[in-house]
């Protein structure tokens, strides 16, 4: 044992700071001895100081103790950088991928439908204008004049194909004075077997209106039928009577009364103007008018 150790205390209970409790003269007992003012330590009881031992720098005098920080209170005064002066305010969040492409598709679809609608309207307007022009053109056309011979289907007679001379069925001519279309006698040289009868009445006539490309002399052929005897008719070209009647003899040598055997043809010269002309065959005083007519046509001499 060392000096001062009476064997009552264990080394771990020995106070290494006992000198702090000594008097100024260097005397004094160990802590807990009489007259030192220090607390009395009982043998066998570990000595404790008045102040708890703390780590160096842990305790600071004159400052408020820190309050414990709880979750959710950290950075209570935090502000986003863009809200501070000089912060980046221009950056924006990326646009979502969903609605924008759909709007683009809808815009393209609407544009395409608009283009189609405009094209359809333009086509309709063009068709309407064309129809109006056609109607106006038809309204401006003149109908047949009083002197024209009109077919039952409304077409003007005497028309010809380009380069061809006029040819017409007698039943399509303008008939006056008792002349009429008939088909009871067979043998007429027309597609439907019709012909003009009733020419034996004074004043009866058949007028042909025709067009020619050139003025000049033409041969007028007339198809006719007689009952086994000769006949003739008066001819007027453009309202000018010809002094010679059209000869209609019994060239078929049909027996008398045999109308169906007397179909034949004859011709006579006519002087025509360029363009429209009229040729009239009529039963006048002094004619032998017992004759039927089936067709007329022109031939260049």
pLDDT of residue 119 exceeding 80, the answer is yes
What is the overall mean pLDDT for the chain?
Answer: 74
**pLDDT bucket at 126, cuts 50 / 70 / 90:** confident
Share of the chain above pLDDT 70, in %: 54
67-94 pLDDT, tens digit per residue, is 555 544 445 455 555 555 555 554 555 5
In angstroms, the CA 207 to CA 147 distance is 8
**For residues 193-206, average pLDDT:** 96
- Residue bearing the bigger pLDDT, 19 or 184: 184
pTM to 2 decimals?
0.48
13 in Cβ contact with 46 (< 8 Å): yes
Instruction: Give the per-residue pLDDT at 129.
Output: 73
Instruction: Return the number of other C-beta atoms located less than 10 Å from residue 109's C-beta.
Output: 10
Instruction: Give the per-residue pLDDT at 72.
Output: 46
pLDDT of residue 159 exceeding 90, the answer is no
277 in Cβ contact with 213 (< 8 Å): no
Q: What angle do CA 285, 290, 296 make, to 5 degrees?
A: 95
269 backbone dihedrals φ, ψ, rounded to 5°: -75, 145
Instruction: Return the number of other C-beta atoms located less than 10 Å from residue 171's C-beta.
Output: 24
The residue among 298, 238, 294, 291 whose CA lies nearest residue 268 is: 298
List the beta bridge partners of residue 196. Answer: 181, 293
In angstroms, the CA 42 to CA 36 distance is 15
Instruction: Give the per-residue pLDDT at 120.
Output: 83
Instruction: Give the per-residue pLDDT at 293.
Output: 97
The residue among 72, 299, 292 whose CA lies nearest residue 165 is: 299
Distance of CA 222 to the CA centre of its chain: 59
244 in Cβ contact with 170 (< 8 Å): no
**What contacts 264, CB < 8 A, 6 or more positions away?**
223, 224, 225, 226, 250, 251, 252
> Residue 234 has which token pair?
């008066």
């Amino acid at each position: 044992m060392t000096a001062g150790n009476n064997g009552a205390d264990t080394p771990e209970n020995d106070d290494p700071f006992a000198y702090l409790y000594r008097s100024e003269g260097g005397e004094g007992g160990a802590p807990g001895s009489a007259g030192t003012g220090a607390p009395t330590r009982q043998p066998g009881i570990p000595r404790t100081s008045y102040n708890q031992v703390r780590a160096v720098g842990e305790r600071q005098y004159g400052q408020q103790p820190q309050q414990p920080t709880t979750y959710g209170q950290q950075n209570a005064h935090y502000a986003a950088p863009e809200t501070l002066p000089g912060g980046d305010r221009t950056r924006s969040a990326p646009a979502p991928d969903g609605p924008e492409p759909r709007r683009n598709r809808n815009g393209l679809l609407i544009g395409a439908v608009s283009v189609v609608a405009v094209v359809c309207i333009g086509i309709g307007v063009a068709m309407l204008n064309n129809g109006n022009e056609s109607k106006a053109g038809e309204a401006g056309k003149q109908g047949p004049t009083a002197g024209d011979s009109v077919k039952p289907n409304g077409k003007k007679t005497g028309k010809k194909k380009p380069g061809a001379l006029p040819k017409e069925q007698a039943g399509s001519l303008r008939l006056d004075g008792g002349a009429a279309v008939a088909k009871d006698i067979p043998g007429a040289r027309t597609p439907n077997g019709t012909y003009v009868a009733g020419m034996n009445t004074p004043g009866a006539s058949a007028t042909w209106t025709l067009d020619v490309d050139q003025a000049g002399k033409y041969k007028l052929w007339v198809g006719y039928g007689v009952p086994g005897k000769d006949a003739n008719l008066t001819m007027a070209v453009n309202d000018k009577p010809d002094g010679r009647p059209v000869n209609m003899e019994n060239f078929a040598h049909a027996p008398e009364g045999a109308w169906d055997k007397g179909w034949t043809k004859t011709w006579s010269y006519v002087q025509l103007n360029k363009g429209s002309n009229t040729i009239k065959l009529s039963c006048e005083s002094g004619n032998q008018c017992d004759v039927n007519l089936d067709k007329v046509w022109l031939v260049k001499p």
